Structure 1
Amino acid sequence: MQLDGVAAVVTGGGSGLGAATARALAAKGAKVAILDFNEEGAKAVAAEIGGVAQACDVSKPEDVETALAAAAAAHGDARLLVNCAGVAPAQKILSRSGTMPLEAFRKGVEVNLIGTFNVLRLFAERAAKLEPLATGERGVIVNTASIAAYDGQIGQTSYAASKAGVVGLTLPAAREFAPLGIRVVTIAPGIFETAMLKGLPEAAQQSLGEQVPFPSRLGRPEEYAKLVLQIVDNEMLNGEVIRLDGALRMAPK
């Protein structure tokens, strides 16, 4: 799919991987709508790239319906969805302070898995009604999992389980949407430079980066965005989960 003039939606586009993706898409000529719980961050990125921003809790159907309608009103119905919205809760199941509250586990699943599915289904409903392009495509969906889906560390039960769910929905969604000409691909990033990691001391960031076999550094959001562009461009990429991790396999802790 060629991006020039195409309407795109990026969740979690107010910062990190989503912001880098929104910038990369806009640079290719896409009309980008940013959906983010952090409305201030979304508006800042949208103003920078000439896009639109909408406050949105991806786990709430009414929020997503409203946001997609606003995006369509501004740019027309989108052919590209990039799901970057997510949270990274960290808590042991059993600790000296007691048992992990069920709500703490539920939060990660609600945002990372249910939120991803919620936006995916409502985007697909709209994209399915579009006229196919010359290639037969109607749309592309790129979801974000994590290598924690495979190598979840101690304290990451909610995060790892939710991201494993995103991995698991990729193939059946791609198979279901294939007759509609809508592709579904998931990226599973390793350790990337995000707001959460940038808040750590420099020594801690360096230590994390050194765990990556090669290149021995933290991933850059722009590298995630570059992969999104490659997925959009390559029609044969469908139903696949791509690890973007420099060959990192995380230790238990």
Structure 2
Amino acid sequence: MELNASVSAVITGGASGLGAATARALASHGVKVALFDLNAEMGETLAKEIGGVFCRVDVCSEGDVEAGFAKARAAHGQERILVNCAGISSPGKTAGRSKEDPSVIKPYSMANFERVLQTNLVGTFRCIVSSAAGMLTLDTREADRGVVISTASIAAEDGQMGQVAYTASKAGIVGMTLPIARDFSSEGIRVNVILPGLFNTPLVARARDVVKNALSASVPYPKRMGEPEEFASLAIEMCRNSYFNAATVRLDGALRMAPN
């Protein structure tokens, strides 16, 4: 796919971190970008910076997603690129003992488990369905009618203790990528997924230096956390390279996470 001003994109979780870096990278090629996020202040600021549009969207809400795509398409036309970066985490063991009193057993909250899956997995699928349905209306002679890129995590393959909900949600994203790509194989819509490792996102930036240094040291090479711009670079290549389809790509500096 040639990236230029004739192409529009929607990025979920686009107000910060990996999503924001991808938005800036796409916009630098002239692509018209719509940002879906809950943080209106950051989203509006970034949209103004890149000449895009912000849509306040909770990916768990069918109504929000429908309204977001309607607003984005009214501003930029039918998107040909969807990048799913919206996601949350809620750490906790499946069942564990209280640190204060080991005789007290604490099961993982089912409400939290469902919330993580609804946001990360169901929310990603909801946006893919809505975006791809719109892409199917495009009458294009190009090889690529559209491109979908979702964000999983290396936790999908080597989840650690306390990551059960997050790992389940990200493994689900990986698992659905191939069948979705096959569903659209005759329609010219490609579907890929990136599995980032440790990245210097706003969540990590709030950690103490000693924690960040330890995380960086755990990466084989290069011994640092990834930068959001490196994620964006891979997303750009997945858009431009038409042979990227149903690809599951780790971006992690050769990191394989230990059990804890």
Name the TM-score, length of structure 1 as normaliser.
Answer: 0.98
For residues 57-136 of structure 1, what are the structure 2 equivalents within 5 Å?
57-97=58-98, 98-134=106-142, 136=143
* Aligned with residue 219 of structure 2, among 212, 216, 240: 212
- What amino acid maps onto 2:12 in structure 1? T
Return 5+ residue gaps in structure 2 as ranges: 99-105
- What amino acid maps onto 1:244 in structure 2? L
Q: Which residue of 2 aligns with 1:3?
A: 3
| Counterpart-to-counterpart distance in 2, 1:158 and 1:132 | 40
**3-state SS, counterpart of residue 236 of structure 1:** coil
- What amino acid maps onto 2:37 in structure 1? D
| Counterpart-to-counterpart distance in 1, 2:175 and 2:138 | 27
Would you say the 8 A contact 1:132–1:181 is kept in 2? no
Task: Give the Å deviation of 1:95.
Answer: 2.6
| Counterpart-to-counterpart distance in 2, 1:251 and 1:47 | 41
Residue 236 (str. 1) matches residue 243 (str. 2) = yes
Please identify runs of 4+ aligned residues in structure 1 that moved more than 3 A: none
* Aligned with residue 195 of structure 1, among 190, 202, 210: 202
| Counterpart-to-counterpart distance in 2, 1:66 and 1:114 | 17
Task: Give the Å deviation of 1:133.
Answer: 3.7
Name the TM-score, length of structure 2 as normaliser.
Answer: 0.95
**3-state SS, counterpart of residue 150 of structure 2:** strand
Q: Alpha carbon RMSD of aligned pairs, Å?
A: 0.8
| Counterpart-to-counterpart distance in 2, 1:102 and 1:26 | 40
Residue 164 (str. 1) matches residue 182 (str. 2) = no
Over the matched positions of the two proteins, sequence identity in percent amounts to 48
**3-state SS, counterpart of residue 25 of structure 2:** helix
Return 5+ residue gaps in structure 1 as ranges: none
Residue 13 (str. 1) matches residue 21 (str. 2) = no
**3-state SS, counterpart of residue 132 of structure 1:** coil
Cα deviation, 1:110-136, whole Å, max 9, x if unaligned, reads: 1000000000000000001101243x2
**3-state SS, counterpart of residue 184 of structure 2:** helix
Structure having the higher Rg? 2
| Counterpart-to-counterpart distance in 1, 2:63 and 2:145 | 24
